[in-house]
Amino acid sequence: MENSKRITQSNRDEMNMQRIVVLRWGHRVQRDARLTTHVALTARALGASGFLLSDTMDETIRATVEKVTGSWGGEFFFEMGTSWKSSVRDWKTKSGIVVHLTAYGENIQTSNVLDRIRNLEKDVLLIVGSQKVPKEFFSSEVSDFNVSIGNQPHSECAALAVFLDRFFEGKELVKGFGNAKIRIIPQERGKKTIVNR
């Protein structure tokens, strides 16, 4: 918990905003490997500070995420094996708020839920489920907000991406990743990278 502690105690990054840490619940080793890897890489690329793989261990995912961070830079942290209950309790003790992404929650487009989250000016633990989540996730003991990215079934990876993009208002797509060994230079055509080994 060292890293996530550091985050809520706050040393704000260049986006000068609330921090978000993603908690992935319900990961099944092997079966969910690729999807959870996509969720973790989306979290990193779109501005989250770190990723908690809750209630289970998966060295393959840890290795992939740490390899990407090692090559592409930034300070994204990865932790696994802590129960969601103790992560949530710990987060709340440090005055963070908890947001649960679910198709059943308040629609991010038609409600003012995003403004209410922002106005609290607190760091966010963002719960991203996979299989059917425990009923408790919806309760005020766990989640301060239940947020839907549309009210249709789709993908936790897609929901996370839209939430982060809206929360950070696109700033996450231009922020720099320090100590990168490889960097893409965007182009109209072809691929251009700068590699520092």
Q: Which stretch binds its own copies (CB under 8 A): 19-27, 53-61, 106-114, 117-125?
A: 106-114
Residue 1 beta carbon to its own copies: minimum distance, rounded to whole angstroms: 25
Q: Are 83 and 56 in contact (CB under 8 A)?
A: no
Residue 65 beta carbon to its own copies: minimum distance, rounded to whole angstroms: 11
For its own copies, which is the closer residue by CB, 93 or 153? 153
Tell me, residue by residue from 38 to 77, as one string, x for binding to its own copies by CB under 8 A and - for no binding.
xx-xx-xxx---------------------x---x-----
Give how many residues touch its own copies by CB under 8 A. Answer: 58
15 binds its own copies (CB under 8 A): no
Q: Measure Cα distances from 108 to 92, 120, 166, 175, 197 in Å.
A: 23, 16, 9, 24, 42
Strand pairing report for 182-184 and 193-195:
antiparallel
Residue 105 beta carbon to its own copies: minimum distance, rounded to whole angstroms: 6
Site for its own copies in 112-131 (CB under 8 A): none
Residues 189 and 197: their CA atoms lie apart, in Å, by: 25
Residues 44 and 22: their CA atoms lie apart, in Å, by: 9
Beta bridge partners of 20: 124
Amino acid at 131: Q
What is the torsional sign of CA 11, 14, 16, 18? Answer: negative
Tell me, residue by residue from 157 to 186, as one string, x for binding to its own copies by CB under 8 A and - for no binding.
xxxxxx--xx---xxxxx--x-----xxxx
Residue 81 beta carbon to its own copies: minimum distance, rounded to whole angstroms: 23
Residues 120 and 122: their CA atoms lie apart, in Å, by: 5
138 binds its own copies (CB under 8 A): yes
Residues 146 and 69: their CA atoms lie apart, in Å, by: 30
12 binds its own copies (CB under 8 A): no
Q: List residues binding its own copies (CB under 8 A).
A: 32, 34-35, 38-39, 41-42, 44-46, 68, 72, 103-111, 138-140, 145-146, 148-155, 157-162, 165-166, 170-174, 177, 183-192
